[in-house]
Structure 1
């Protein structure tokens, strides 16, 4: 590949199954239609909001016979540490998203083209934070296999929890959480979808709840507001209100694709700990996702900067959460 990457560069190759092309461009959109629905974080509009002062390179794997793009990877080159690239830059995950049935040989050729392009512009390392295995078990397994063969090392293995939406929420609950759910109902707590004009007040609520636990929010109010404005059909504000109408719990939920609802920013003040209103909050999210035809509710990881949050992991297990891996992998040029 040529190192002049302002315009798209092409690399053609064949496997036993088909003829493929790797297309690389700087911040480009796919030329051929995608053979899958793109995760929100890999859509051009979202990528353009991932504020990197460096460069964004888009790599697409095209199946010529099908005239479709069958895999994509988006890479951001750090402006300050020019020898390091990321996927993603500012999003919960990046990685290679692919259509079912993409052969390992084609995926390997895609990544060799990625490495070659990065080395030509002086980048020696690539860090990929992949999506949870539950999002695409077969695709995650294939991606991990290919990356491992190419010398990637797992630098972080996180435990992610999700709830299947085809199963009853209450049936999966631990007895202790079922009692807390009943207690919330007895005391008049109820789940609501909040209008977006509450977003500034909601952000302050979320910030205070995080501060109580010695944590901080990963997004600024300006950034969160921008995401709601640009993607109004993917971002939702949900709450649990007590009998007096006060917020007992709150979350920002994100519809990641046609299958997944992500419980992104759950929070509740410590004064409501005896009620555990986040259980009722998750019941409402479960019902919303199910009514929307989605397949799973992503409860996220249980990782803090200091390591695994054991109490949070246990709480998600008590909700009936199913574990899957979320890997961060890193490649370094020889």
Structure 2
């Protein structure tokens, strides 16, 4: 990971401990550019989309080398609950490859110190799925535990490992038959080159509303996401001739991970299961662009309860489960 773009001057607060320094920034968030190698949700531009509230950025450095070892941001200040992320699939600590547990634990202790002194009662941290980076996941799991955080929620995330294996060889035989049915009907899966964001949003929200779901993002927020990250947000569709029957909005989390963010299909085409054809097209795109993980996300119904049928579908697509933990710490008063 290249951390060269992280600034090391003019912090709002500083903590020191045995060769380590933690810097806190919150006055001018634009003064904290983030390396392209970060997860997109930790990119300063994405963070600014997530919330208009004050965001607090904590970085831990080695004093001798001035090299940043770990980073976390939180939304807080006007609430007793301080949260990372403000509004994204995950936030939490991201570390340098050489970062030690001691450095992360010192960072978390400084966060706790500042939050407690500013009226905070609770810290909530939603972390990345374990399959994103197993070594970082295990290191951070230990650090949250040792810092007396407790799991508030443990969700089951699913992702497909992208390889040279053809998509039809990783899915179950029943899903292969549905894929062949889509091909026989002449359905075509394509990336949409010229995107009408309002049209995409209208399609997804209409189809979701039929199922009792609401979207986690507004039209305005989606427009800002597309305009801010034009190379990282892409739309794929399954077409029956000139008619769009299924859509997926994907987000490039980093160079090696693609997140299947928003998906929807027309109910009258469900007998064809166009979602299978849609995922095949996205999987092929991942193969061509050297993306190693296709993240299908967690599986919840419109009440926020785990949905077994959606889990079965993802596993039929060759996806494997991994844990996605939200940590919580209630602060002593």
Answer yes or no: same fold by TM over 0.5. yes
Instruction: Rate the CA distance shift 1:31–1:200 in 2: closer, same or farther, 3 A.
Output: closer
- Distance in 2 (alpha carbons) for counterparts of 1:227 and 1:31: 19
Instruction: Rate the CA distance shift 1:78–1:271 in 2: closer, same or farther, 3 A.
Output: farther
Q: Match of 1:3? A: none
| Mapped pair 1:160 → 2:166 | no
Structure 1 spans left out of the alignment, 5+ residues? 1-5
Q: How does 1:1-334 map to 2 (within 5 A)?
A: 7-14=11-18, 19-26=19-26, 28=29, 37-53=37-53, 55-77=54-76, 79=78, 82-168=79-165, 169-242=167-240, 244-304=241-301, 305-334=303-332
- Distance in 1 (alpha carbons) for counterparts of 2:298 and 2:184: 31
Q: Deviations over 1:302-325 (max 9, x none)?
A: 023341011101000000001111
Contact 2:32 2:44 in 1 (8 A): no
For the aligned residues, what is the CA RMSD?
1.9
Contact 2:157 2:321 in 1 (8 A): yes
Instruction: Rate the CA distance shift 1:20–1:170 in 2: closer, same or farther, 3 A.
Output: farther
- Distance in 1 (alpha carbons) for counterparts of 2:211 and 2:33: 47
* Greater CA drift, 97-106 or 260-269: 97-106
Instruction: Rate the CA distance shift 1:119–1:282 in 2: closer, same or farther, 3 A.
Output: same
- Distance in 2 (alpha carbons) for counterparts of 1:32 and 1:231: 15
Q: How far apart are residue 144 of structure 1 and its match?
A: 1.6
Q: How far apart are residue 102 of structure 1 and its match?
A: 1.5
- Distance in 2 (alpha carbons) for counterparts of 1:236 and 1:133: 24
Q: Match of 2:5? A: none
- Distance in 1 (alpha carbons) for counterparts of 2:34 and 2:170: 39
The size of the alignment, in residue pairs, is 320
TM-score (norm 2): 0.91
Q: How far apart are residue 225 of structure 1 and its match?
A: 0.8
Instruction: Rate the CA distance shift 1:33–1:70 in 2: closer, same or farther, 3 A.
Output: farther
- Distance in 2 (alpha carbons) for counterparts of 1:255 and 1:317: 22
Contact 2:33 2:44 in 1 (8 A): no
- Distance in 2 (alpha carbons) for counterparts of 1:274 and 1:106: 53
- Distance in 2 (alpha carbons) for counterparts of 1:285 and 1:68: 38
Contact 2:164 2:287 in 1 (8 A): no
Q: Alignment partner of 2:272: what SS?
A: coil
Q: Deviations over 1:231-270 (max 9, x none)?
A: 101101110101x321111010000101101110111121
Contact 1:125 1:332 in 2 (8 A): yes
Q: Deviations over 1:158-179 (max 9, x none)?
A: 1111111124222110111111
